[in-house]
Structure 1
């Protein structure tokens, strides 16, 4: 940006950076910072002051702190080294707001009634569908553990797959 009023450029840069800093804080799930429009005037001024210090070099820019979280658990009855374990697996996948989905691949989602629904995203299904297909972590893991022994792939049951794995392992000896 160039203009005949350099202070205008600085003011716009400060405002843009302040909004960016506040936005980054707002989307961080480990913080409870409101959106820019919901901040108090005092909070906005604090972000503007931080932005100005950053732009003028009056402070060091802090290195962002990464967030690390587990977002997927895999539940299967087959041994980890079985070539088919992934196709017999059920995944418990984090879907935000502390809620988890129980999925078979990316195409089926387990409901609280024990039936599998096609699709794993809510699309236009509404809160009723979401509430029946999203769970706390412990509930989702229990549902996945309960369903895992009953998975069938191309007509083969988990018991069939385990028997084939055992037979293959014995043949390797």
Structure 2
């Protein structure tokens, strides 16, 4: 009989605790948003859509079609072909398949010319058609992205202090005593 009342009391206490949690969260602000109608603001450095940057002085793409981004991509979502030689080399075809991209940012980090970046100001990345998620050269340059002076720069590498040269001692001479 004692066990019956103990179980009854324990079950009632458990129900009251869970009801208290429900009641406590009933009056807090909702976290969810009604997605198509409402959208949360993107963080400043969100990894969104790829954009090819343009040299402000010349108006030309910074990309030299070195294919470093395509080689480092773990999902092989970047297809790139270039034309020309040396400084005149530029991409003739550039495509990024956002169906495959995992937004790891490796392509941005490896680019020696800062020619590719991930831009936050692109609002919508979802699509009903998979083929519209393959961005070609025209789409990647449509925004004409110029890196602004307010864009945070890459951190500078601190200079190493100079290594002091050891004192030269003549052969046969005794070292100075301390």
The TM-score, its normalising length taken from structure 1, stands at 0.22
Q: Could you say which structure has the greater relative contact order, defined with CA pairs below 8 angstroms and 6 or more residues apart?
A: 2
Query: Relative to total residues, which structure has the larger helix share, 1 or 2?
Result: 1
